[in-house]
Amino acid sequence: MIRYLARFSGHVQGVGFRATCVAEARDLNVHGTVRNEPDGSVLLDVDGPAGDLKELIRRIEVAMKGNIDAVVIDQSESKQRSGGLRISF
């Protein structure tokens, strides 16, 4: 288990981005939150097996390809969360 902090920039707020992240994560073993940031980006803070995290990022990039200008991912030690992926406000 590892942790990804993935920051998506572009036209990612007000377009269903967070809901898309949650939907794309439903059948993956990932847990954490996705939230809008004051600078207009979206931050995905998620734990899971490396393969599932890579697949989640791939799915999001495919589903929201016209909205994402860049994604920056920092990898760190897992926080060992549970409960799936949720939208944080």
Q: Which residues are catalytic?
A: 18, 36
- How many helices and strands in the chain, by DSSP H and E? 2, 5
* Best CA proximity match to 21, nearest among 7, 40, 1: 7
Cα(29)–Cα(56) distance, integer angstroms: 10
* Best CA proximity match to 30, nearest among 58, 66, 69, 67: 58
